[in-house]
């Protein structure tokens, strides 16, 4: 398969490795990016791996993805639970979307149980730790190849 997949990460995920390691582990976002780049290379696809703490950046990247991406993987972090604007942007994206959460948001505080983004996601992966990114990418590659 050739093509481009976006992986978009929301606020505070730049601090993976330092941030609440008992919940999110000790792997950094750079390590996750490297794992994903290896999978992409093996499968002959291109990857854009992005992170921002600003909601408008995530929205603009989703708009960019409309023009060029075959699929979008997103961990919107806390914006999952608050952002109708991100849901609206995803509604304009017509290719598969996989939502990833490192932790199992359903086992945590009740305010994390609802994700606006899930309403538009093709699939949701939560609770597999950072392996969720790998699983999402493998699945996205097979979805995009069909
Ligand atoms: C998260 C879960 C969110 O509730 C939290 O705000 C995050 C990370 C996860 O990957 O488990 O920042 O999306």
* Tens-digit pLDDT profile for residues 7-22: 999 999 999 999 999 9
* pLDDT, averaged across the chain: 97
pLDDT at 1 > cutoff 60: no
pLDDT (0 to 100) of residue 4: 97
In the structure encoding, which two tokens stand for residue 90, read together? 């995803």
Q: Whose CA is nearest to atom 6 of ligand 1?
A: 78
Tell me if 12 CB under 6 Å of ligand 1: yes
- Fill in the DSSP letter of residue 124: E
Is 116 assigned a catalytic role?
A: no
Q: Whose CA is nearest to atom 9 of ligand 1?
A: 101
Report how many domains make up the chain: 1
CATH of the domain at 85: 3.40.50.9100
pLDDT (0 to 100) of residue 91: 98
Whole-structure pTM value: 0.97
Mean pLDDT of 97-115: 98
CA distance 3 to 57: 22
* Tens-digit pLDDT profile for residues 50-72: 999 999 999 999 999 999 999 99
Q: How far is the CA of 93 from the centre of ligand 1 (A)?
A: 22
Is 24 assigned a catalytic role?
A: yes
Q: Which of 97, 42, 34 is nearest to 70 (CA)?
A: 97
Q: How far is the CA of 115 from the centre of ligand 1 (A)?
A: 10
Q: How far is the CA of 104 from the centre of ligand 1 (A)?
A: 9
Locate the ligand 1 atom nearest the alpha carbon of residue 104 and give its number: 11
pLDDT (0 to 100) of residue 2: 63
pLDDT (0 to 100) of residue 145: 84
**What's the number of CA atoms in the CB half-sphere (13 Å) around residue 50?**
22
Angstrom CA distances, 129 to 3, 22, 46, 73, 111, stand at: 26, 11, 24, 15, 20
Q: In terms of residue numbers, what domain contains 132?
A: 4-145
């Amino acid at each position: 398969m050739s093509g481009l997949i976006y992986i978009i990460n929301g606020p505070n995920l730049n601090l993976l490795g330092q941030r609440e390691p008992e919940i999110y582990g000790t792997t950094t976002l750079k390590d996750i990016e490297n794992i994903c780049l290896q999978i992409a290379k093996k499968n002959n696809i291109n990857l854009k791996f992005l992170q921002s703490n600003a909601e408008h950046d995530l929205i603009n990247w989703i708009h960019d993805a409309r023009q060029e991406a075959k699929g979008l993987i997103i961990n919107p972090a806390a914006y999952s639970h608050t952002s109708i604007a991100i849901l609206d942007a995803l509604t304009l994206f017509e290719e598969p979307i996989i939502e990833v959460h490192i932790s199992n948001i359903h086992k945590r505080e009740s305010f994390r149980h609802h994700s606006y983004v899930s309403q538009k996601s093709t699939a949701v992966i939560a609770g597999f730790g950072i392996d969720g990114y790998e699983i999402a990418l493998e699945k996205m590659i097979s979805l995009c190849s069909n």
